[in-house]
Structures are given as structure tokens and as C-alpha cells.
Amino acid sequence: METRAGDPGAFARFDLSRVASPAFVVDEMAVRRNLAVLKDVRDRADARVLLALKAFSMWSLADVVGEYLDGVCASGLWEARLARQFYKGELTTYSPAYTAQDLPEILHLSDHVIFNNPQQIARFAGLIATARAEGEVFEIGLRLNPEHSEGEVAKYDPAQPCSRLGFPVSQLTPEHMQGVDGLHIHALCEQDFEPLARIWAAVEPKLAPLLGGVKWLNLGGGHHVTRADYQTDRLVDFLRDIADRHRVQVYLEPGEAVALDAGILIGEVLDTFDNGMPIAITDLSATCHMPDVIEAPYRPAMLGEPEAGVTVRLGGPSCLAGDTIGDYVFTERPTPGTRIAFLDQAHYSMVKTTTFNGVPLPAIVLWNSDTDDLRVVKSFDWTEFRDRLS
């Protein structure tokens, strides 16, 4: 995958030595700018926009998110608990499957609970009825697989062949819609408007006869609305058209778009040597701190990388042979103590970090690029590693 990172923005002037290494630094003003774009789309389209916690759950900014969006969406019980403890507004929860132990609390916490197929709804009908009899108020949703693939990478494509995500729309019948208040379709990943339009064009003829009793339509996430080249006016017209013609409330669930280009990951060179080319070991680990570098895979953009100079292979401190971030150009060969930073690391990287091999977790730092206020929100010590084990 190609990185979607854009201009470094205010991070171009950030002094990397201001924080201990390693550290995520998130610019509150960049997050606010993204949220303002999403709020503008929401307001003009009369849609509702929820933050997908799976991508960006930095709850120290929960009140900021609440100033702009309608709420959040969760992927299970723990995210739902986080949502209700820190965030404002609506809560939608979707998981490919639920346990009988978790579902009652999820029904209690959530406004919408979305199931992966009609069989799940039928299997848990008793728990749903019991919750409602006890006074719980929630609506039931069904996730659909549009059976139309727009994903660039198969492992990130919810509509890939034999996907486990969503009920195939070709199998949907009126009987499946009994007790269903809304439908959920999520088939995008870091994409602009055109793929969304093609998915809807493919699925609308199949859905139109079944939308009579549907209250809402959730078009999921993967919308790169805050990217500079996103066609926001076309998105607004599209959302309004769906709402007007089908008389449904339309939802979007962006995650990455909230934190796009809003954070960097700062690290430090620990050692250098030669083995066919210059090699640098850093305190940043691809496998522990930026797993998508290996899983996608992709090459994260480095802050201030020149066009010409010395090419150095950067790798992490873990024992994994493949813990390689990539090959990067420096004006001169880096030495131990050289600071580096990778762009666009606020989303997904922070929520995916691990302590594999005892590698320390990066601190989380909040910066305001307007006021230059800098605050360490969270720092970690070795007990984070210890307490995960037994």
C-alpha cells in the first residue's frame, strides 16, 4: 500500500527533542480541523457522523470529539464501555459475533446493536426480548456484505470473496428484515467518493424493495473525507439523495479521517553498522509500534526526508528478523541519538501497539500547534508488560 500521509503541517516545525523517545505526538488542532470537515458534511447532508473507536480511541480528546460529531461506534464490549465512560452522544456497536455473556451489557450500553447475519438475531431473540422487558432502549441493525469489492488490498477488503463480514445482500429476503431497524454496509478502506458511489449503485437495486420499514442506513467507515482531494460536495449530495428517496437517517462511521495527518511517532537511532548497506537500529519497532508496516505492508513517510543523500535501512529493537521499518534517505549517516519521526501515526498505530519481546510502549503526548502547549497524556513503564502476563 502507498501511504496516504499528506503534508507534515505544523509538525514540520516541531522540535523532536521536546519529548522522551519513543512517543506518539498528536496535534489537537489537526484533529479539530478534521472534525470540522466532518461536521460540515454532517450538517449539510443532515447525516449523523460517528467516530470509529477501533481507529482512534484517544479518549483524552473525547470532549473535543463531542463538540463536532454525534457519537462513536464500538467493535465490542470493551470499546462500548470506553465509549460510555468518556464520550458523548450516540453509541453504535457492531461485532462479527457476540457472546451470550457480553450481549446483555452491550444492549444496555448501545443505541444501535448491529448483528452480522439474521441467524445471530434469531439466536439471541430471547436476550433481546429480556433486555427490552427490563426497560432497555436500543435498535437492531444488520450488517450486509454488498458483494461488490472496491478494496485495494484483499486483507482490508470487507467484500472479498468468502468474507466473514456481513450477510450477503444476494441472500437477503423480506423475512430477514423482521425486527431489523437499520442496515449497515461497510466496504471501504482509505478511499474517496467514487468507490462509495459504485458500491451503492451495485447494491441499491437489491435493497430498494426492502427499505420500507428501515429507519437508518449506516454506510460504515473507510471514507477519507478529510483528505485534501476528497469530493465532499458530491458526498453531501449523495447522502441527501439517499435520505430523501428512501426516507432513512444516514450514518457515516469514519475513524482514520478523524486523525488523518494529526500525529507523528518519534523515535531515536540506537546504533548503526554496515551489512551490504548502512543499517540503523531504532527504539521504534514496526511489529510493536507500527504493525501495519508489516501487515499491509506499507512504507510510512518520514518527517523531513530529503530527496538525495545516504540511504539507511531502519529497523526495530525486537528479535523479529522482519522488524524492518524501511529504507530511508538522510542528508548524512545518522548516529546514535539522532531523532526521527514518522508521519500520520495517530490512527491505528496507537491502538495496535504491543509489548512483544518486552519492547517499551511509546508515550502519548498531546500538542496544540496553535498555543504550543505540550502535555504528556500517558507514559508507560515495564509494569505494562508484566501485568499482561501471569
pLDDT band at 5 (very low <50, low <70, confident <90, very high): low
Q: pLDDT for 136-165, tens place per residue? A: 999 999 999 999 999 888 888 999 999 999
What's the predicted TM-score (pTM) here? 0.96
| pLDDT at site 154 | 84
Task: Measure the N-to-C terminal CA separation of the chain; round to a whole number of Å.
Answer: 38
pLDDT tens for each residue of 327-381: 999 999 999 999 999 999 999 999 999 999 999 999 999 999 999 999 999 999 9
3-state secondary structure 255-266: CHHHHCCCEEEE
In whole angstroms, give the CA distance from residue 303 to residue 283.
Answer: 16
pLDDT at residue 152 in the model: 81
Residue 96 identity (one-letter amino acid): P
CA distances from residue 174 to 81, 211, 358 in whole angstroms, order as listed = 34, 10, 53
Q: Which band of pLDDT confidence, cut at 50, 70 and 90, is reported for residue 4?
A: low
**pLDDT tens figures, 298-331:** 999 999 999 999 999 999 999 999 999 999 999 9
pLDDT in the model for residue 307: 95
Region 12-21: mean pLDDT is 98
CB-CB neighbours of 31 under 10 Å = 25
Q: For a pLDDT cut of 70, what percent of the chain falls above it?
A: 98
User: What are the structural domains of the chain?
Assistant: 9-25+262-386 (2.40.37.10), 46-259 (3.20.20.10)
CA–CA distance, 241 with 200 (Å, rounded to integer): 12
Q: In this model, does residue 2 exceed pLDDT 90?
A: no
> Tens digit of pLDDT for each residue in 274-283?
999 999 999 9
In the predicted model, is pLDDT for residue 3 greater than 80?
no
In this prediction, residue 75 has a pLDDT band, given cuts at 50, 70 and 90, of: very high
Mean pLDDT for the chain overall = 96
Q: Please, are residues 244 and 278 in contact by the beta-carbon 8 Å criterion?
A: no
Contact 183, 218 (CB under 8 A): yes
